Amino acid sequence: MPRPTLPAGDLARTVVFAAFIAVLGLFPGLYVGGSGVPIVLQNAGPLLAGCVLGARRGTASVVLFLALTAIGLPLLSGGRGGIAPFIGPSGGFLIGWIPSALVVGLIVARLKRANLPVLLLAAAAGLVVDYVFGITYLGVYTGDLGAAAVQSLVFLPGDAAKVVAVALIGAVVHRALPGKLVGS
């Protein structure tokens, strides 16, 4: 009976994107607002993964990145890794990167085009999904959901800029490599 295999190209793209998310972690996190959750560049990675690789491969690249982090590789901003970041205040945001990439990829696939408006919508939706996971978890972690939501407002300006940057980069990639990268 033939065994299901992951095409080598899919695997390569997944690994390359996981590495790209790790590179974004070289930018140091900025701790403002008192929640213990840093402002990072790295959360642009899962959004771009969904935009460029699509739902299946984009999500796989985020899962791979988070798995490597969880087993101890220092891939998060500031060279952090291991289980601690997942059970600390950032835990919900980190886990939220998985459904975030998934939702971005699904929206791009459902709307059947990858132009700037679609990518803006998809990336913004992916960000909202991450906020839902992150703020809910932070609220449970601190025992104050309202404070968690207010403290997270500090992320909005930077994240809005990341959504625009991700959509622009995604649109350029799709234009340069039509049909080559994205697939759900």
Q: Which residue is nearest to ligand BTN (CB)?
A: 90
Find the radius of gyration of the CA atoms of the chain: 16
Closer to ligand BTN by CB, 93 or 141: give it: 93
Does residue 107 bind ligand BTN (CB under 6 A)? no
How far apart CA 131 and CA 119 sit, in angstroms, is: 18
Number of H helices, E strands in the chain: 7, 0
Nearer to ligand BTN among residue 84 and residue 172 (C-beta): 84
SS3 content of the chain, % helix, strand, coil (to 5): 70, 0, 25
Whole-number Å distance between alpha carbons of 170 and 46: 12
Q: Say which residues have a Cβ less than 8 Å from residue 109's Cβ, sequence separation at least 6.
A: 54, 55, 182, 184
User: What minimum distance in Å lies between the beta carbon of 169 and ligand BTN?
Assistant: 17
Provide the mask over 138-177, with x wherever binding to ligand BTN is found by CB under 6 A and - wherever it is not: -----------------x--xx------------------
**Stretch 65-104 residues interacting with ligand BTN (CB under 6 A):** 76-77, 85, 90, 93-94
Q: Which helix (H) or strand (E) holds 121?
A: helix 116-142
Segments in 30-90 forming alpha helices (H): 44-70, 84-87
Minimum distance, C-beta of residue 19 to ligand BTN, in the bound complex (Å): 17
CB of 143 to ligand BTN, least distance (A): 20
Among residues 18, 21, 22, 40, which is the contact residue for ligand BTN, using CB under 6 A? 40
Residues near ligand BTN (CB under 6 A): 29, 37-40, 43, 76-77, 85, 90, 93-94, 130, 134, 155, 158-159
